[in-house]
Structure 1
């Protein structure tokens, strides 16, 4: 692994940071989240047209920049630093990679160029607030290597509804597919022009999770009106910079993403989990770094007993501990982005064979460490700003709310780590003991080679 960034990656970071520092101060952020979209549409157009940010990780043949998870993580880190309210996460990190991986050639040709140019925003709608589970970050989504592909039986992808009450169900009609159900906590679900909806098909006996495209873009020449039967309600959120909505579908027309047969939807979601976790971890690191910088600036200016409070040893120790946490989380996020890039480019012919595949637990561990660091930094930022830091309207609470919201949406931290431990084989010995088998014989190489 080469830990040094290329000149192109450094330029992406520098250019984006300069623009966001000019356009995304705390006042601008607070004004943007109160608009109907929940973000500055003019800034998003600028990021799309001038920097190509929405298509940063999309192939050049579809209008993207042809970069990878590392560059996307750098962009997310800079966005997190200023708490940029934008559809970057929902569009570029979650929805676009699924369309690129599973979509038919026609779907990619029609949708990806518009996404890459910032003209069309998209999001992934997962029922029940189960996004981390669907991505395989907090449990088995039914499609990773731990439990097969989840295509048979009734237990693959139960988070999508499992053909029971709740979730989203899809049924085939003579005119195509119709979707019925509800999804809560859909990131940017109130404003996205394109919904990628996870739904169950086939009833209980032959249930299978599929992804469907629902177009609700009134600016699209091919779509003259909004999708019939679709209701989108923006919900009140603790973190206004991370808007989400309730999506209700009542016999809504949907288009199957990808071919009728052969698409490994659950496997694609599990693979997306690694790159999405790396981007989320980098974004949390950026937010922690932003809160830390503001706190350092404050303690250097605020005086008590005739000297800056930052000169007191106790304050120095607290800041030093935070700095170490941020740097450790940053290293983990960068490594997770590298691992996601390696996993995307790896094939069976690669030198080193299967052992060369990066550990799939890396992304979840990096995200857990980043969320923990952000929570610690945000809490200390409130404390070190003194009395005014405890007021709900203070800028420090923007970071505090982001920390609390992210752990609710993508965690909790202990479940991210438990899932990583499970995938690394740390529980194999316990399972073997329960079956009365010798632990050494049952525990695989992953369990035997992992140190704690």
Structure 2
């Protein structure tokens, strides 16, 4: 891995930093999240139409720029600096890789050029609260036919609940409800996971549903993190189109495509978290240099210096982890510069799967930086008018949707073979038992940053 950024990558960072600085101030973000779309449409037009951000990692033949995951991660890091609300993660992080991996050439030609220009936004709808499981971040998909009752449990297992799909005269009809869909209220295209074949022969497939399809009801929900708007989808006899081609007993490997997508979106979220943590730390450092107590700036006290130094080390470690995970993701896909087919299946040769660990490291760094920002800003840091709470909510919201941190690490350790048999069960059980009490994993064997102990991260 070459740790030095190219001139092109530096230019991506510089351009986006200028835009974020001008258009993503605290007042701009708070105003944008209160719009019906949940983001600034003008900012998205600039990011997509002028800079081509949604198509940054798309192959050129599909209308993209032909860059890799690393370039998109650098862009996400800059957007994270300003907590910029946008449909980038939902569209380019979750939906686009699935369209590439499972879509037919006709679908590619029809949809991907529009995605690349920002004309078409998309969202992934997974029933229940199992998005992290569906993406393979905290568990693997069960494909053993001897365990049919547990197959695709992340999508409802074919039982009542979730989304069911039935076909008649060649037309698919979807029924059910999906909660917590990232940017689901505003996306023009929805990728909905639904069960087919009834309970006995159930299998989860992905369907394309237009945002204005008859029978589709979309309700924006109140979210802890307003910069990540979510929606509830109600599908009442809604017409959908199968993503890919599937015959009875065959068809696309949805689980593998979701796992590859999970690896990529974990990298993007980790980079976003690093950017947000870096900005929270910079704002706190600036504040403690100006705020005086006992006749001197509070930043001159040794205890404050030590606390901020610890945050700095964690942010830098998280940045290194995110960059390495992005490089590894490109190495796995064999398409680091967009020269291949652009598919993300998580099974390529070369790099390892480090996205989950990078995400755990990034979320923990952001939570620590935000917590210190709240405390060191004193009374003003607890007010609704100040911005410190936005960073804390971003860390908490992402962990609820894509984590939690202790499960991200436990799954990565299990996949790497660090624990076997009873040891794996004890490790995950201990992590789950300690997380509610201490807010940190009990086992920090994998991805622990500098200065971390095996006992936890909290003070």
Q: Deviations over 1:301-340 (max 9, x none)?
A: 1122222211111111111000000000111111111111
Task: Work out whether 1:257 is the aligned partner of 2:243.
Answer: yes
SS at match of 2:283: helix
Give the Cα separation in 1 of the matches to 2:274 and 2:424: 38
Aligned equivalent of 2:271: 282
Aligned equivalent of 1:202: 197
Task: Give unpaired runs (5+ residues) of structure 1.
Answer: 217-225, 348-353, 435-449
Q: Deviations over 1:247-289 (max 9, x none)?
A: 1111110010012243111111011111111111111111101
In the TM superposition, residue 6 of structure 1 has moved relative to its aligned partner by 1.1
Matches within 5 A, 1:28-427: 28-142=28-142, 147=143, 153-216=148-211, 226-261=212-247, 262-345=251-334, 357-360=350-353, 362-427=354-419
In the TM superposition, residue 432 of structure 1 has moved relative to its aligned partner by 11
SS at match of 1:159: helix
Q: Which runs of 4+ in 1 moved over 6 A?
A: 431-434
Give the Cα separation in 1 of the matches to 2:74 and 2:277: 14
Give the Cα separation in 2 of the matches to 1:69 and 1:307: 46
Give the Cα separation in 2 of the matches to 1:240 and 1:47: 20
Aligned equivalent of 1:222: none
Task: Give unpaired runs (5+ residues) of structure 2.
Answer: 341-346, 427-445, 449-459
SS at match of 1:185: strand
Query: What is the RMSD computed on CA atoms of the aligned residues?
Result: 2.2
Q: Which moved more, 1:257-266 or 1:156-165?
A: 257-266
Give the Cα separation in 2 of the matches to 1:285 and 1:134: 24
Give the Cα separation in 1 of the matches to 2:272 and 2:14: 16
Give the Cα separation in 2 of the matches to 1:90 and 1:451: 26
In the TM superposition, residue 161 of structure 1 has moved relative to its aligned partner by 1.3
In the TM superposition, residue 433 of structure 1 has moved relative to its aligned partner by 12
Aligned equivalent of 1:5: 5
Give the Cα separation in 2 of the matches to 1:315 and 1:196: 47
CA contact (8 A) 1:152 1:207 kept: no
In the TM superposition, residue 28 of structure 1 has moved relative to its aligned partner by 0.3
Give the Cα separation in 1 of the matches to 2:71 and 2:16: 11
SS at match of 1:128: coil
Aligned equivalent of 1:445: none
SS at match of 1:214: strand
* Structure 1 residues 290 and 133: alpha-carbon distance in aligned structure 2, compared to 1, 3 A threshold: same
* Structure 1 residues 430 and 283: alpha-carbon distance in aligned structure 2, compared to 1, 3 A threshold: same
SS at match of 1:183: strand
Give the Cα separation in 2 of the matches to 1:181 and 1:272: 24
* Structure 1 residues 65 and 163: alpha-carbon distance in aligned structure 2, compared to 1, 3 A threshold: same
In the TM superposition, residue 363 of structure 1 has moved relative to its aligned partner by 1.1
In the TM superposition, residue 3 of structure 1 has moved relative to its aligned partner by 1.3
In the TM superposition, residue 7 of structure 1 has moved relative to its aligned partner by 1.0
Give the Cα separation in 1 of the matches to 2:150 and 2:60: 38
Give the Cα separation in 2 of the matches to 1:284 and 1:151: 40
In the TM superposition, residue 154 of structure 1 has moved relative to its aligned partner by 4.0
In the TM superposition, residue 153 of structure 1 has moved relative to its aligned partner by 3.2
Aligned length: 416
Q: Deviations over 1:106-150 (max 9, x none)?
A: 1111111111101111010011021110000011233xxxx56x7
Give the Cα separation in 2 of the matches to 1:299 and 1:130: 41
CA contact (8 A) 1:161 1:169 kept: no
SS at match of 2:186: coil
Q: Deviations over 1:151-202 (max 9, x none)?
A: 9934321111111011111111114111111111100010000001111111
SS at match of 1:266: helix
* TM-score, L = length of structure 1: 0.88
CA contact (8 A) 2:357 2:447 kept: no
SS at match of 2:195: strand
